Amino acid sequence: MRTLTTVFLASAAFIFGAVPASAQTYFIKDATVVTNTELGKQDNASVIIRNGRIVQIGQDINVPKGATVVEGEDQWVTSGLFAPLTSLGLVEIGAESSTDDRRAEKAVTSVSDLSVDGFNPASPIIDNTRVAGITHAAVVGSPSHNIFAGTGFVADMSGELESVKDPQSFIYVQLGSRGGDLAGGSRSASMSQLRAALTDAAAYPSRYKGPTDGDALPRRDAAALAPIAKGLVPMIIGADRASDLLNIIKLKEEFGLDIIIAGAAEGWMVADKLVAADMKVILDPMANLPGSFDAVGSRLDNPKLLADAGVEFALMSFSESTSHNVRILNQHAGTAVANGLDWDQAFAAISSVPASWFGQSTGKVERGVSEATLVVWDGDPLQVTSAPTFIMIDGKQQSLMSRQRELRDRYNPTRNETRAHKYR
């Protein structure tokens, strides 16, 4: 069976909004359950969720009295997907500046700019992303007048006003050729700016008697960068070229930082060095062409080669929009599998791995650890034809509707509707 059926629905909010978790029991019956734990993949398993928490997983479980039954035959149950680097909710129409909060060309500050202050959880893009099975994302803006894009955050895709999980989760820095341009015209300038900024932050507040006493950062930005300089909060650095990756490794060793590299198109060339430095990497599994001179060595089996070497990595598409097209994250993971990556590694790279990097408890299907966040799919979630049939975030059933689906239904030519289109 490839459709979702229920014997009881809590309310019509299933269609139009989240269903309250209180006193609600769900029974997902006879599905393939991807636990993302040492238990691995469980066939013909059932899941009981009571009061928002998973209380039982296994075979031959009886249906609890009064439970909402989700038929799981031929269905897959997984954790929600986690997109590790996006601009979701910061932009709706790129050509309309009033809806685009990704960058501030004329700002004086940079690191201390909180991306969460521009986040719109009611954006239709959030719904589009959620109905594709993505339940959480790391979000940050873009660098504009220097190499720093500001402070990023983690949010769930429920669309609720209180959906931000961690308002100050990481910062983003751009290196490589683009970082060189932002710093004045060369890679050496961008590395010098970053080292000076880290030195300012490490010495904060003693160095600052006035707001502009730092070598590279004003006082407010130095304060925001201080937790990163102490290795308490991760820094995501964008870079692709192998030589840039080696410089980032040296930077990590010099300052004792928690660094995640985003891009690493030529990562396979220095995989052994990345492993030795315990470096985490976000890869684009679709990067196979030299889109710039930074990525001449791009190849489709980059994720497999890094996995074989033992590099810890997550997957994200940088070749597509990191706002509007985040929804195809699972398809990109499927591309990595098609190019040799193990299925379990690919799925972990879009779920449990990035969730752990940002201190989130999602990413696993297991008993009682936290409020349930999971997705029921009508097939293998890494197949392009598969889609979610049931979504839960933090123990609350989520809507499967989006603006696009509402418009599809409203103007469907097969709909029995006699009114003219403009009156519907």
d(CA 126, CA 353): 22
Question: What pTM value is reported for the model?
Answer: 0.91
pLDDT at 269: 98
Q: What is the pLDDT of residues 265-295, one digit of tens each?
A: 999 999 999 999 999 999 999 999 888 999 9
Structure letter (DSSP) for residue 377: E
pLDDT at 213: 86
pLDDT above 70 covers what percent of the chain? Answer: 94
**Residue 65 dihedral angles phi and psi, to the nearest 5°:** -60, 130
Contacts for 419 with CB less than 8 Å, ≥ 6 apart: none
3-state SS record for 22-83:
CCCEEEEEEEEEECCCCCCEEEEEEEEEECCEEEEEECCCCCCCCCEEEECCCCEEEECEEE
CATH number among 2.40.50.140, 3.40.50.1100, 3.40.50.410, 2.30.40.10, domain 13-79+366-408: 2.30.40.10
Residue 239's CB is within 10 A of a number of other CB atoms, namely 28
As beta bridge partners, residue 138 has 154
User: How many residues are listed for the chain in this entry?
Assistant: 424
How many alpha carbons lie under 13 Å from residue 102 in its C-beta half-sphere?
20
Across the range 240-246, mean pLDDT stands at 98
Q: What is the pLDDT of residues 204-220, one digit of tens each?
A: 998 888 887 888 999 99
pLDDT category at 106 given cuts 50, 70, 90 is confident
Helices and strands (H and E) in the chain: how many: 12, 16
How many alpha carbons lie under 13 Å from residue 369 in its C-beta half-sphere?
13
DSSP string, 101-121: -S--TT-S--TT-BGGGG--T
pLDDT category at 79 given cuts 50, 70, 90 is very high
pLDDT category at 406 given cuts 50, 70, 90 is confident
d(CA 86, CA 172): 11
Across the range 366-383, mean pLDDT stands at 92
- 3-state SS class at 260: strand
**Residue 257 dihedral angles phi and psi, to the nearest 5°:** -95, 160
Q: Over 70: is that where the pLDDT of 19 sits? A: no
State the average pLDDT for the chain. 91
pLDDT category at 122 given cuts 50, 70, 90 is very high
- 3-state SS class at 295: helix
What are the structural domain ranges in the chain? 13-79+366-408, 81-357
Q: What is the pLDDT of residues 314-352, one digit of tens each?
A: 999 987 789 999 999 999 999 999 999 999 999 999 999
Domain at 81-357, CATH class: alpha beta
**Residue 337 dihedral angles phi and psi, to the nearest 5°:** -65, -40
